[in-house]
């Protein structure tokens, strides 16, 4: 067994099953493996030194590209909808339309701010964005072994790409599915491209990207990393899956959501800020 799995911060519903999955993947070899990961609060940290770290959206919301009035409105949206996102007493069916409402309203506000493409790198540089401990080892190791890493995020693609670029880990084996900004010829944000990705439609997003999974059809062993229940569907487009190891990072409301995170094979609760 991998020594890190005996760390007290790692929970496994069925350690025997985890062992079987791992053994089977090791036997099949790294050329049969692909990794699919969520971004916000999975590849990035939830908190550092007792302080919450920003999501892709928060990086923009807190930046000087946003007017003070708009910041207040975005904060109100966060205060209204984030508690709903992490409320385990409500069903996904009940939460889904509210999450669409959150993303739609927030994106409308961002578009009104005429954000400039050429300032995004600076905004990320000046933010408190932080990748999770061990990120470099993960990204570099996957690259060295030519293992594809799909980052599947309901955040903002332009921002997340900048975070991994500045951290020096945007290697050629990394592919991103996310919400991308659409800029006009003068470089100002005018809309978001394509279908909205929110936390509960990653399955649909996966099924739309058949080409990607078709290319990776010789890799039926999947390592899935996420922090929300919606992330469990990120691998639904994988062809003829043989093994999947689902690793969940339990960030907020660790005690109340622990039952639902039983859906992950391995879960890593964050016990305190
Ligand atoms: O990368 P990931 O799929 O985790 O990105 C989604 C996260 O973005 C959600 O967990 C949500 O809390 C956050 N979000 C935000 N502001 C918004 C919309 C979503 O911080 N306006
Ligand atoms: Mg997340």
pLDDT for residue 132 is more than 60? yes
Q: What is the ipTM of this complex?
A: 0.99
CA distance 165 to 173: 13
In this structure, the residue with its CA closest to atom 14 of ligand 1 is 57
| 200 Cβ inside 6 Å of ligand 1 | no
Q: Please give the number of the atom of ligand 1 that sits closest to the Cα of 54.
A: 20
Residue 195 burial by Cβ neighbours in a 10 Å radius (0-12, 13-18, 19+): exposed
pLDDT in tens, 105-116: 999 999 999 999
Q: Give the atom of ligand 1 at the shortest distance from the alpha carbon of 231.
A: 3
pLDDT digits (tens, 9 = 90+) for 23-50: 999 999 999 999 999 999 999 999 999 8
What is the tens place of the pLDDT at every residue in 213-258? Answer: 999 999 999 999 999 999 999 999 999 999 999 999 988 765 555 5
> What is the best residue among 45, 55, 178 to mutate for testing ligand 1's pocket, by most ligand atoms within 8 Å of CB?
55
The DSSP element (H or E) to which 254 belongs, if any, is helix 254-257
Ligand 1 atom, smallest distance to 197 CA = 3
Measured by CA distance, the residue closest to atom 15 of ligand 1 is 57
| Counts of helices then strands in the chain (DSSP H, E) | 10, 11
Q: Give the tens place of pLDDT for each residue, 81-97.
A: 999 999 989 999 999 99
Q: How far is the CA of 178 from the centre of ligand 1 (A)?
A: 11
Which tokens is 155 given? 């955040």
Q: According to the model, what pLDDT value does residue 194 have?
A: 95
Region for 180 from its dihedrals, namely left if φ exceeds 0, alpha if ψ lies in -120 to 50, beta otherwise = beta
Q: Which residue's alpha carbon is at the smallest distance from atom 12 of ligand 1?
A: 82
* CA 72 to ligand 1 center in whole angstroms: 17
Angle separating helix axes 68-85 and 92-112, nearest 10 degrees: 170
Measuring CA to CA, which residue among 122, 114, 174 is closest to residue 143? 174
Sheet with 243-250, edge to edge strand ranges: 11-12, 266-269, 243-250, 221-226, 33-37, 149-156, 174-179
Q: Can you give the pTM of this predicted structure?
A: 0.96
Which pLDDT score, from 0 to 100, does residue 223 have? 98
């Amino acid at each position: 067994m991998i020594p890190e799995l005996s760390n007290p911060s790692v929970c496994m519903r069925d350690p025997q099953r985890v062992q079987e999955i791992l053994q089977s993947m090791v036997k099949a070899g790294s050329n049969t493996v692909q990794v699919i990961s969520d971004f916000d609060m999975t590849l990035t940290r939830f908190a550092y030194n007792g302080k919450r770290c920003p999501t892709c959206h928060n990086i923009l919301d807190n930046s000087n590209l946003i007017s003070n009035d708009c910041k207040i409105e975005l904060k109100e949206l966060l205060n209204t909808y984030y508690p709903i996102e992490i409320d385990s007493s409500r069903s996904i069916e009940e939460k889904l339309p509210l999450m669409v409402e959150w993303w739609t309203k927030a994106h409308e506000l961002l578009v009104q701010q005429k954000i400039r493409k050429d300032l995004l790198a600076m905004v990320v540089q000046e933010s408190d964005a932080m990748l999770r401990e061990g990120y470099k080892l993960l990204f570099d190791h996957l690259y060295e072994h030519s293992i594809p890493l799909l980052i599947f995020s309901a955040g903002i693609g332009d921002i997340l790409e900048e975070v991994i670029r500045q951290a020096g880990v945007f290697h050629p084996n990394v592919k991103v599915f996310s919400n991308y900004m659409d800029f006009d010829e003068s470089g100002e944000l005018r809309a978001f491209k394509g279908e909205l990705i929110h936390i509960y439609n990653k399955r649909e997003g996966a099924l739309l990207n058949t080409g990607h999974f078709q290319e990776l059809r010789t890799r039926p062993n999947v390592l899935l990393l996420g922090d929300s229940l919606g992330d469990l569907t990120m691998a639904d487009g994988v062809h003829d899956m043989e093994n999947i190891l689902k690793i969940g990072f339990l960030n907020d409301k660790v005690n109340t959501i622990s039952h639902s995170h039983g859906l992950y094979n391995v879960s890593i609760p964050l016990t305190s800020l």
